[in-house]
Amino acid sequence: MRIRNVLLVFLGAVCVVLVVFGTVRFQGRIEAAVLPPPSEVPAGFDDETNGLVPQGDHLFHKGQFDEVEGPEDGLGPLYNAQSCRECHQSVVSGAVSQVTELRAGHTGPHGHFVAANITIGDGAFTVLNRSLVNDRAICPNADFPDLSIQEHVPPAEHIRALRTSLNILGDGFVEAVADADLLAIAAKQRHETHGEVHGQAILVDVLEAPGTKRVGRFGWKDQHASLLSFSADAYLNEMGFTSRLLPDEVTTLCNPKGVQEPNDRLGTDGLFDIDHFTLFMRATKAPPRDEPLAATLDARIGSDLFDQVGCATCHVCSLTTVPPGTKINGGTFTVPDALGNKVFHPFSDFLLHHLGTGDGIVQNGGQETAQKLRTPPLWGVRTHSRLMHDGKSLNFHDAIERHRGEGKMATEKFNALSEEEKRRLITFLKSL
């Protein structure tokens, strides 16, 4: 009798355990299965948070992004500008500016691209193997009146390129797209165009998760996948600020004494500047459409024509972010509700393409990426005065005509449109 009771209690306990675990696992599946349809991301040129952080915090992080820094804070020795905003400003902080940057290098063994070597300080130091050439320097100055460290491109560095600034608004959503979705776009476009269009995804290092890689999506060469990685990169290469992720100065010539290394300071809130920049960018809203123009018949027909001639093969209209709770960037960032399961309209596939406009520069991809560029997202493109990576196209017609290589078929179909159809397609671009 006693043994039977013990057995029953034991079996009961086993059942309870099975039911509890079963329900938990089952619920997990239900949750995945009943994930609501993705919601539209908020859009606006209004300096408002997308919901990731409260508005007050967003403005505080924006203040760090806007802050003008000096040599006493860590600026330089070589740099391009004094604040992030200087190159990401029109029409609000985080958007674009007309600024271009200089890159250089030369052809090495086997015809491979080799980044520039630039000697500065009258031969005192050589900046080795770096394609970015900084346009500004902090000396000569009162402490180093005779030391000139301004970089100049030597004749031997015969590959030279200009790159325009890029929009950052809405990039938190771009960061939250799964690698698999970008790879699926690449496969789809290759299939649908019988290989004529074959966007390339490259795997790049996530600096904050050493040893891990992710599909690159930021920068003209898809050189980064994470906004924190990009922040550290930009802080060093645009402003000369070292940080925990990139602690080495490009040169220590005329580096002011008494400035802490890494330069990036811990704020009163326990976050570093690169964390503030990242939070600012992740919390930005997407660039909004010109809604009245988008609603016109011209723009709506233009949108259809954009799809029909094949622009949308690369300038992909809609992407969806991963479900909230998904870990990305090598497990260092858990996508929150404000960024997860959202649909947005960047008009890009974030892949590298050969368009015949290539600048010959290799960054984080292999040598085969030298002549390729990332499809620039067209959201907010109506606010750009100069188009294409080099800023050399000054209107939409010019930009379209430069699409050769993988874009040739679309250009030919565009050219075959009637004048009215072309005008409508351009009207659609003006509404973005």
> Using CB under 6 A as the criterion, which residues of the chain lie in contact with ligand HEC when the complex forms?
80-81, 84, 86-88, 99, 101, 163, 165-166, 168, 171, 197, 218-221, 227, 230-231, 234-235, 238-239, 277, 281, 309-311, 313-315, 353, 355, 357, 373, 375-376, 378, 381, 384, 387-389, 396, 399-400, 403, 406-407, 410, 414, 429
| Number of neighbouring beta carbons within 10 Å of residue 363 | 20
**254 vs 281 by CB, closer to ligand HEC:** 281
**144 vs 308 by CB, closer to ligand HEC:** 308
Which residue is it, tokens 């995945």? 32
**58 vs 384 by CB, closer to ligand HEC:** 384
Rounded Cα gap, residues 318 and 384, in angstroms: 21
**335 vs 347 by CB, closer to ligand HEC:** 347
**163 vs 345 by CB, closer to ligand HEC:** 163
Cβ at position 93, least distance to ligand HEC in Å: 10
Cβ at position 320, least distance to ligand HEC in Å: 18
Cβ at position 152, least distance to ligand HEC in Å: 18
List Cα–Cα distances, 255 to 78, 137, 251, 261, in angstroms. Answer: 9, 10, 8, 10
Cβ at position 189, least distance to ligand HEC in Å: 8
**299 vs 410 by CB, closer to ligand HEC:** 410
Strand partners, 384: none
Cβ at position 232, least distance to ligand HEC in Å: 8
Closest CA to 63 of 329, 273, 311, 240: 273
Cβ at position 366, least distance to ligand HEC in Å: 17
Rounded Cα gap, residues 84 and 273, in angstroms: 11
